[in-house]
Structure 1
Amino acid sequence: MGPDTWGQLVEAGYRLSDRTLYLRSPAFRGDDVRALQRMLNALGFDAGKEDGIFGPRTDRAVREFQRNVASRVDGIVGLDTVHAISRYRPPVDAPSRAVVREGEAARGPGLALSGSVIAIEPDRVDEDAADVSLAIARELSEALIHLGARPLLLREGTEVPPVDERIRRANAGDAAALISIAVGTGEQVERGSACFHYGTPTTHSPMGRRLAESIQPELVRRLGLPDAGLHPRSIAILRETRMPAVRIEPAVAIDRDGATRMVEPNFARDVALAIAEGVLAFSRPAPADLARST
Structure 2
Amino acid sequence: MGAAGPHVRDLQHRLSATGHWTGPVSGEYDAATADAVKAFQQQRSIDIDGICGPETWSLLIEAGQRLGDRLLYLRSPHLRGDDVAEVQRMLSTLGFAVGRIDGIWGRLTAAAVADFQMNMDLSGDGVCGDGTLASLQRLVRPLGDAAIVAHIAERRRLESPGRQLAGRRIAVGEAGGLEPVTASVRRMIGRNGAEVLTVHHPDWSAQAAQVNRFGAAVYIAFEIKPGAPSISYFQGRHFVSRAGQKLAGDIADGLKTMFGLIPAQGMGLPMLRESAMPAVLCRFEQVEGLLEHSREVAGVITDSTRELLAGLSAN
Compute the TM-score of the two structures, normalised by the length of structure 1: 0.77
| Unaligned ranges ≥5, structure 2 | 1-50
Alignment partner for residue 215 of structure 1, among 230, 245, 251? Answer: 251
Go from structure 1 to structure 2 and tell me whether the alpha carbon gap of 1:42 and 1:115 turns closer, same or farther (over 3 Å shift): closer
Q: What SS does structure 1 have at the residue aligned with 2:140? A: coil
Name the counterpart of 2:293: 270
RMSD: 3.0
1:159-238 aligned at under 5 Å gives the runs: 160=201, 162-184=203-225, 186=227, 191=228, 193-223=229-259, 225=260, 227-238=261-272
**SS in structure 1 at match of 2:283:** strand
Matched position secondary structure for 1:44? coil
Q: Shift of residue 169 of structure 1?
A: 1.6
TM superposition shift of 1:42: 0.9
Gaps in structure 1 of 5+ consecutive residues: 125-130, 252-261
Contact kept? 1:49, 1:98, Cα under 8 Å: yes
* Structure 1 residue aligned with 2:136: 85
1:263–1:47 distance in 2 versus 1, CA, 3 Å: closer
Query: Aligned partners of 1:121, 1:110: CA distance in 2, in Å?
Result: 25
Which structure has the larger Rg over C-alpha atoms? 2
Return 33-42 or 72-81, whichever deviates more.
Answer: 72-81
Whose helix fraction is larger, Structure 1's or Structure 2's?
A: 2
Q: Does 1:47 align with 2:92?
A: no
Change (3 A) 1:69 1:32: same
Deviations 1:130-168 (A, max 9, x none): x3x34432333333334443432211xxxx353333122
1:33 CA drift (Å): 0.7
Provide the aligned length of Structure 1 versus Structure 2: 263
Does 1:143 pair with 2:191?
no
State whether residues 219 and 275 of structure 1, in contact with CA within 8 Å, keep that contact through their aligned partners in structure 2.
no
CA apart distance, 1:21: 0.6
Please name the residue that 1:255 is paired with. none
Under a length normalisation based on structure 2, what TM-score does the superposition of the two structures give?
Answer: 0.72
Query: What's the % identity of the aligned pairs?
Result: 31
**Which stretch has the larger CA shift, 21-30 or 160-169?**
160-169
Bigger relative CO (Cα 8 Å, ≥ 6 apart): 1
SS in 2 for 1:179: strand
Supply the distance in 1 between the matched residues of 2:65 and 2:166 (Cα, whole angstroms).
43
CA distance change for structure 1 residues 163 and 184 in 2, over 3 Å: closer, same or farther? closer
User: Which consecutive segments of 4 or more residues in structure 1 shift more than 6 A?
Assistant: 104-111, 285-288
Cα drift, residue 69 of structure 1: 2.2
Find the aligned partners of 1:13 and 1:110 in 2 and give their Cα distance.
Answer: 45
Structure 2 distance, partners of 1:113, 1:286, is 8
CA distance in 1 between partners of 2:212 and 2:310 (Å): 28
